[in-house]
Amino acid sequence: MFAARRALQATRGYATSANVQVPAVLHGIEGRYATALYTAAAKKQALDAVETDLKTVKRVVEKDAKLREFLENPTINRIEKKAGVQQLLAAGKYNDLTKNFFDTLAENGRLYDTVKIINSYGSLMSAYRGEVQVTITSAKELDAKEVAKVKGYLQKSSFITAKQTLVVSNKVNPSILGGLVVEFGDKTIDLSVSSKINKLNQLLQEAI
């Protein structure tokens, strides 16, 4: 309860506003922080600018193992972490909202959630743009024509509205043996060979 209350308070101008419509409901501490930042950025008409900043920070964190360890290390005190993240952001032209937000994360001891919060903000921006993230899992990598074919079927289906845009990624998993597994939103369409074999095995066991 305390952690959730502190996240909602995410300080210095990050309170929600009745004038801002958040495009998706996110759960968890990272969702609360991302929603608070989205609300503040929307009020300042800085949604895209903050998103660009966060993507830059994420790339830096993912490439720099020492920085990632610094952010995630619970033994480093908050004052030192705040100074460190301020030094990081001083090296680039970041929006004041972004700088203040990372100050808030440092003060609240949540810098170890940096990447999760950035991902959650990305989910909000994706929803804001009407994007639907689609993951197509296949036994081997699909070529552009195959991806476009699946995308075309989905776009024409009742699952996707005319205002939504599909953002498709292809994940390779040889263990599905063949066929496809398509995931989008809270839906999964399992057309894999492994799934069909499992169903056949169940039917055989029930028949014995």
CA dist., res. 46 & res. 38, Å (int): 9
CA 199 to chain centre: 33
CATH 1.10.520.20 describes domain 2-127:
yes
Structural domain boundaries in the chain: 2-127, 130-207
Q: How long a stretch of residues is the chain?
A: 208
The pLDDT of residue 208 is 64
The pLDDT of residue 11 is 39
DSSP state of 112: G
CA dist., res. 162 & res. 17, Å (int): 29
Torsion over CA: 172, 174, 175, 181 (sign): positive
Could you say which residues of the chain have pLDDT below 70? 1-18, 208
Establish how many alpha carbons lie within 13 A of residue 102's alpha carbon, considering only the half-sphere containing its beta carbon.
24
Cα-atom radius of gyration of the chain, to the nearest Å?
21
Count helices and strands (H / E) in the chain. 9, 4
Please give the single-letter amino acid code of residue 164.
Answer: Q
The pLDDT of residue 66 is 92
Residue-wise burial string across 83-114, b where 16 or more C-beta atoms lie within 10 A, e elsewhere: ebbeebbeeeebbebbebbbbbbbbbebbebb
* 47-63 vs 65-72: helix crossing angle, rounded to 10: 110
Q: What angle do CA 89, 91, 97 make, to 5 degrees?
A: 30
The pLDDT of residue 14 is 52
